[in-house]
Amino acid sequence: LRVICTVLSLILMICFPQRWIIAIILYVSSFVGDLFDGIAARKFDQCSLFGGLLDMVTDRCSTTGLLCALSHEHTERPILVLLFTMLIILDISSHWSQMYFTSSFKQHHKSAEGNQNSFALVRWYYSYYYFFGYCCVGTEFTYVAIYILAKVTALDQYETVRMGCEYFLMISIPACITKQIVNVSQLCSACHAVAAYDAEQKNK
């Protein structure tokens, strides 16, 4: 259901931009579904490597799709297109490296065991659920708010919505920036751990 909502939302954002309100509802529904998926998996002890992989792939595809839609909305501003492109590259590379590193040791990418050799910031990020949630939710809703802001500004309508998005961004942007710092740390941490393991194996 999450995948269907995400795909439909991106189709509407890019191919039928006049349906942007429905697109946002579908995208947010998909994101909220992700939160409940994780809670249910932990509550019923259904966590697995495959579940972690599916969760990671779905999250990365959703975020990438939204950032592509944002680039589509700001084609006249190359600096923003470059920013969104770099965010896509960092998001995918850091999470892929984290998944590769932890899966190599047959651990879940969010588990304490899988991150015991990670940098302190990465361990803290995955250990403290509220900090993790603030960063993830804040980042996604930063992108959503920027998308809505682009729409209401172009239409010169929904003044209350525009002001609400601007105030919301004051809260969510720090979370988004923090998430990017974590992503850089996660990328470096995973690469360092894999390189250290390679060196250990060669020196045996």
Which three-class secondary structure string do you get for 64-110?
HHHHHHHHHHCCCCHHHHHHHHHHHHHHHHHHHHHHHHHHHCCCCCC
* DSSP conformational letter for 19: G
pLDDT at 79 over 90: yes
What pLDDT, in 10s, does the model give residues 106-142?
Answer: 777 777 777 777 888 999 998 888 999 999 999 999 9
* DSSP conformational letter for 118: S
- Give the model's confidence band at 40: pLDDT under 50 very low, under 70 low, under 90 confident, else very high: low
- State how far the Cα of 90 lies from the Cα of 102, in Å rounded to an integer: 18
- Give the model's confidence band at 1: pLDDT under 50 very low, under 70 low, under 90 confident, else very high: confident
Catalytic residue set: 59
Read off φ and ψ for residue 47, nearest 5 degrees. -70, 140
pLDDT higher at 147 or 193? 147
Read off φ and ψ for residue 74, nearest 5 degrees. -125, 35
**CA distance readout (Å), 157 to 42, 49, 67, 135, 141:** 43, 46, 23, 30, 21
- Give the model's confidence band at 86: pLDDT under 50 very low, under 70 low, under 90 confident, else very high: very high
- Give the model's confidence band at 150: pLDDT under 50 very low, under 70 low, under 90 confident, else very high: very high
Longest dimension (CA), the chain: 67
- State how far the Cα of 84 lies from the Cα of 66, in Å rounded to an integer: 10
pLDDT at 39 over 90: no
